[in-house]
Structure formats: C-alpha cells, structure tokens
Amino acid sequence: MKLTFLGTGTSTGVPSIACDCETCLSEDPRDKRLRVSILIEHRDTKILVDTSIDFRQQALRAKIRRLDAVLLTHCHVDHVFGLDDIRPLNFRYGAMGVYANEIAWTDLRRIFRYIFEPTHFGGGLPQLIPHTVVPGSPFCIGEDLEITPLEVIHGKLPVIAYRFNDFAYATDLKSIPPASMDGLRDLDVLVLDCVRIKPHSTHLCLDEALEIIAELKPKRSYLTHLNHDILHHRDSALLPENVWFAHDELVVD
C-alpha cells in the first residue's frame, strides 16, 4: 500500500492569508500546506480521501489520472469543496463511487444541490454513485483492501475515520469513542489530527494526539491538519520516536 499526502494543512492552509508569522514566511517546503487530503494506492486501486478545496491543484501536482473511489470524512468546506473537480475524471471513466456518512450526505445534497437536482444540462456535472457508510461496518474496494469506517468526534460533529487493512486515517477530531479506539489498534501506520501545539476546542492539540498514539501504539504515526503555529524543523524536536509531522507530497509505503 502506498500513501501520498496531497495536503496537510488546516482549513486556512499554510501560509495563511495576511499572516507574517515565522511559519507563513518560511521557505521550507514542508511548511507549505494545502488543505488536508490523501491518496491511497493498493495494487491497482486508487482511492482519494476528501476532495479538499485544493483538489485540482493537488491532482495536477500528484499527476492523478484515475480514481476508483472517493471517501469523505465529513462535510466541511476544506474537505469537500473540490468535489466538482472530479469532473475531468468522470469524462474519461464515467461515474465514481463516493462514500460518506448519513450526516455528510444531508449536507452534500444541500451544498451541491445542482449535482443531485439538476435544473439544466450543459457544462458538465460531477457524476457520483452515492454510498452511505456505517461506523463499524467494513466494505471492500478493489482487491484485498478492506475499509472500516470508524466514528470520531469533531467538536460535536460525528466524523468518519477510515481504516485500510493495517493503516488508518483520522483527521478532524477532538475525541475518539472507545469502540473506535479498539478499531484503531494493531496498526502499521496511523495518520492523526493535530492542529497545533496548544489546546483547541474541536481538534487535537499535540499533547492530546501523542496521548492517543501512546495508547494505540501504532508502529509509525504521522500528524496532519497542521496550522501555522507548527514550524516543521523546530517543532519536530517535540516528537517521540516513530512520530512525524506529515508534509505535502510525503509518500509512505
């Protein structure tokens, strides 16, 4: 399995507009963060998690030419507003399966009403095959790839983390229910939310993320959804062994 971080930034991206902080002015490419999204490649299967607001730019940069499915964690702007940009892939390969929980589908049908209740034809519409995921109910896409949705809590919003065999991706969360913690054990790689060093009301801060990692004990962990408080070269010294800050275009096997 191959994991590519397409984006590792928080909702404003890094650098942030009108900010002159050390991270936003940094020339280190690891401090240039598009909005969060990952690409999973397993055998011949290619799966995107979240159509971030930067998806077009990410797809061009990563040379994405085909996708077998899109999985959505939740319906916040930074995670879904690139949905319209799957159209060029539809033009070549037809309708695409999109997976999300019931709460997200309610908001997606409202925000992208023009897709689900078209009032005109012409210009091209995204072609979606909607699938509703249920926490704890695994499904398969492609060959030998079992995907288990796990519910985590982002403030008060239920968000879907996804486990792919022995890899899991859990972004945008403040707490993890016990059943989902159990579903995140025995991992080779865990990618986990960590918005900043100091506490946040709806996201994990660094200490909270490290506490979860210490309990779950994955072999390797990567922190994502990073805001501009985190300067890569400076703050990497705060991390224990086998834990890293992710960065855009990082590839993990």
Q: For residue 122, what pLDDT is reported? A: 65
The pLDDT value given to residue 171: 98
In this predicted structure, the answer to whether residue 180 has a pLDDT above a threshold of 70 is yes
Strand partners, 194: none
Evaluated on CA atoms 139, 148, 241, 250, the torsion sign reads positive
Measured CA to CA, the distance from residue 58 to residue 60 in angstroms comes to 5
Q: Quick one: tokens of 241?
A: 């062994």
User: What is the spatial distance between Cα 210 and Cα 231, in angstroms, rounded to a whole number?
Assistant: 17
List domains and CATH numbers for the chain: 2-252 (3.60.15.10)
**pLDDT at 237 > cutoff 80:** yes
Is pTM, for the whole model, over 0.85?
yes
Task: Tell how strand 69-71 and strand 2-7 pair up.
Answer: unpaired
pLDDT the model gives residue 165 = 96
Would you give the distance in Å from CA 130 to the centre of its chain? Answer: 18
Confidence band for 149, pLDDT divided at 50, 70 and 90: very high
Q: Model confidence over 79-100: pLDDT tens digits? A: 999 999 999 999 999 999 999 9
Q: What angle do CA 190, 51, 89 make, to 5 degrees?
A: 120
Residue 50 and residue 37 in contact, taking contact as beta carbons nearer than 8 Å: yes
Q: For 129-174, give the DSSP string.
A: EEEE--TT--EE-SSS-EEEEEEEEETTEEEEEEEETTEEEE-S-S
Cβ-based neighbours of 135, under 8 Å, separated by 6 or more: 101, 149, 150, 151, 158, 160, 179, 180
Instruction: Please write the tens of the pLDDT for every residue from 97-143.
Output: 999 999 999 999 999 999 999 887 666 899 999 999 999 999 999 88
pLDDT category at 205 given cuts 50, 70, 90 is: very high
Report H helices in 43-124. Answer: 55-62, 77-80, 87-93, 102-111, 113-116
Residue 60: its pLDDT value, please? 98
Q: What is the mean pLDDT of residues 186-193?
A: 98
pLDDT for residue 147: 98
Q: Which helix (H) or strand (E) holds 71?
A: strand 69-71
pLDDT at 25 over 70: yes
Overall residue count recorded for the chain in this entry: 253
